Amino acid sequence: MALFRIQHNDFEQRFNFDHFDTMHPNEWENDNRIHEKGWEERYEYESLLIDNLIKENPNIKNVLEIGSGPGVLSQKVQKLQPNLTYHLIDKPFAKQYFEEQKFKGTFFTKDLSNSFDTKGLLDQYDLVITNDFLEHVLNPSIIVQTIFKLTNKDSIYFISNPNWRMAHQWVYRGLFDFDNFVYFLYTHKFALQGIYGSNLKTPEYPRLDSESMLPDQHLTDWNHYMIFKHRTDL
């Protein structure tokens, strides 16, 4: 028997690209997510994951975080790793908060909903981070293709994707089921190197056919934290 997720009819009937919050240029204006306790706990946990990743890979000297929001995660990472060159990309109101808080790093404002302009960025990054970002853009393929160009065989691509069990909103429902997403990255020349557990858990639902490769211990992780590198078979 095959198991697939049913459609979220209410959300899909209301969905409008022009009003999807993460595509709107005013995203992060008066956004309460910055101060929510749940996000603070998540950023603390994620900063420890990234800190350990850098300790295990001391060649990491520069970082690009795409879809960074106002930069809260970046400050926690840089507190643990103060010598990093850290670049962030998001929208104008996120940059405004970043500057008001006098956060550390270099912030670029770019519209990534359907394109990726790399002007001003480094030619290569040792670590690229997309944390709950790819599921909100119209063309994730363009983003991942560009990330490949901004990295090399030794670079690490750290991705956090929400588990469908936590009732998130995606532009492309199903693409981010574990097997589908790993294959999507594979077709974009990235190979999965590892997966980390989440400090938060979802309700329990049956395993989908599109989750055959997901280890049992990660089935109810709130987020799937994954490490990718360039494929070696190319």
Is 3 within a domain?
no
Is 17 within a domain?
no
- Best CA proximity match to 160, nearest among 147, 178, 173, 141: 178
Is 145 within a domain?
yes
Cα separation, 153 vs 142, in Å, equals 19
Amino acid 88: pLDDT: 98
Predicted confidence pLDDT, tens digits, the chain (234 residues): 344 444 544 444 444 555 454 555 555 556 555 665 667 889 999 999 999 999 999 999 999 999 999 999 999 999 999 999 999 999 898 999 999 999 999 999 998 878 899 999 999 999 999 999 999 888 999 999 999 999 999 999 999 999 999 877 777 878 999 999 999 999 999 999 999 999 999 999 999 999 999 999 999 999 999 999 999 998
Helices and strands per DSSP (H, E), number in the chain: 6, 7
Is 121 within a domain?
yes
Is 14 within a domain?
no
Cα separation, 129 vs 146, in Å, equals 13
Which residue stretches of 150-196 are H helix?
178-187
CATH of the domain at 99: 3.40.50.150
- Best CA proximity match to 89, nearest among 60, 62, 120, 43: 120
Residue 95: domain span: 33-230
Amino acid 12: pLDDT: 47
Is 9 within a domain?
no
Cα separation, 64 vs 107, in Å, equals 10
Compute CA distances 206 → 1, 157, 180, 209, whole Å: 12, 29, 17, 10
**Edge-to-edge strands, sheet with 156-162:** 106-109, 85-90, 62-66, 127-131, 156-162, 223-230, 190-196
Residue with the two structure tokens 């950023």: 43
Amino acid 13: pLDDT: 47
Burial of residue 210 (CB within 10 Å: 0-12, 13-18, 19+) is: buried
pTM: 0.89
Number of structural domains, the chain? 1
Is 26 within a domain?
no
Amino acid identity, residue 182? V
Is 144 within a domain?
yes
